[in-house]
Structure 1
Amino acid sequence: MFNKQIILVTGGTGSWGYELVRQLLTYNPKEIRIFSRNESNQFTMKQEFDGNPKLSFVIGDIKERDSLIEACQDVDYVFHLAALKHVPVCEDQPLEALKTNVTGTQNVIDAAIICNVDRVIYISTDKAANPSNFYGLSKAMGERLIIHANTLNTKTRFVCIRGGNVLGTNGSVIHVFKKQIQEKGKVGITDPKMTRFFLTLEDAIKLVFKATFESMGGEIFVMKMPTCKIVDLAHVLIEASTKENVEIETLGIRPGEKIHELLLSEYESTTTVAYDDEYFVILPPIHIEGLKEYYSKFNPVNLVNYNSSKDLMTKDEIKEMLKKGRFI
């Protein structure tokens, strides 16, 4: 599907971008453009990929529509990863989150349509389901803009993919915990009952490709992901560190945080189908030509919602997941 194609990755110098580019290169694309605003991160990434001639780096910000239009020239696929992602940052600076996560997403849509891009893939988050913080709210608005773009007079198709926490990404709880264990001899968790969805980065990108290949446009693909208690994750990392007398400290929930995350809300479950063993698909409330007919062969989900408190991994299963991701 990506053979001889030109691909644009917004926010491509982050953890998702590295793994996405690594896997995209195996499909023999013509060119992969990395669009981001951090010069030093681009320089580092270029070195990491040994100056691969198929990679080109474009300094730009998704808040600048004209820069995106220029970057989208002759592009076939856009993977839209760029966002302000940290909950506290978005709570403290909601206007910046709005400009990047909402207006920036609309700029991506406009640029893709103007440049006749074949497909845009928007990477969303579990925090967009029934959002309790500004980050989640802004990503939910981005989802709505992406879905609505399929009603416009364009050949470009737009699809959303919603996932939970990906192990080892920048700012990941794994890195935070490991650093705290080594430097402080204690781990801070917000609440002992807190649970989260987790997936390895490699598996997350494989699922993204699957949804890219099989989507119609206008739907939200929801990854089925294993869940665990954050406190159990902390215990496994402490045991793996072999450091003795490491304490666990309860810090209290930060503004906008939930005890359990949702990948599928109660409202969304009424229009969701069970796609396969790896995905649910949320169908939009608005009409998109042929979409509901295409998914009519799939069964509706038998769920009130899909939240991270269910089917929790054991400590042994968490350990295996961490080993697979090479974190222990």
Structure 2
Amino acid sequence: MKIAVDAMGGDYAPQAIVEGVMMAATEFPDLSFQLYGKESAIREYLTTEKNITIIHTDEKINSDDDPVRAIRRKKEASMVLGAQAVKNGEADALFSAGNTGALLTAGLLIVGRIKGIDRPGLMPTLPVLNSDKGFNLMDVGANADTKPENIHQYAILASYYAKYVRGIENPTVGLLNNGTEAGKGNDLTKKAYELLTNDKSIHFIGNVEARELLNGVADVVVTDGFTGNAVLKTIEGTGMSMMKLIKSAISDNGAKGKLGGLLLKDGLYAIKDKLDYSKHGGAALIGLKAPVVKTHGSTGKESVYYTIKQIREMLQTNVIGDLVDYFENQAK
């Protein structure tokens, strides 16, 4: 299994990317990696080349580049070359920590949509406080303007992923809304609710509220990309703010606070670990013909490792191939 890696994408590239790839290459000998980027910069951190190939390019897409313009004009950019390798069958999946909009554009324009999918969605796996299984949230920003039919497709796509990659036999699906009653929400959510209710191939449990997400209210939660992105960033921000508040409470209470903090050290690390959704991998752009996965721009080597582990599971289970077959048959 070959993974094309945009080695120049992200705040700490190429160091974090290269170090994370080496961690994965050591643990997963069935994977090989094609690192696209400036060879001299990559080699500065590369200590082993086992199952790792470097494809040199001086061009990269910056975080402030216009996504569509960058993909169309920067033909030799590391992200573009990686996407092209997937399209040509030279790699099985694409990984990047770079410009999110550019990666979405590369996925759509180069890798290509599954026939029958109107709009692919971006989907992370997020933590649940009372278990280790987490939940999938889709869409978290690929599409700001969403139709009811898109949300219906997100439920099918995410359910496939939850079942075959995460191993949940009959994943429950909730529609994110401002109340649990069937008649709640705006025109979009009301129409989406009807479509989800009428599709017996998914285990739809109705509307769910944002306050219940981290309590494991559903295995899959679907929404429009604007709302999903706001919820994702709220979860991220709340987790970081809570840890800052706890640290501040300890440091501001003198010796007594520090002693208490020392006694609670293991528990506090457990909380931090629980809220770290990067250990579930990156956000997968589901609805394309091959796995395209994005991790946070400020990612470290551990996050790169976990994202590669996620991609490996997607390739092993052939979840994308199954989705291609499903939707192409539906489209006939």
TM-score higher than 0.5: no
Higher strand share: 1
| TM-score bucket (shorter structure) | 0.3 to 0.5
Higher helix share: 2
- With normalisation by structure 2, the TM-score equals 0.37
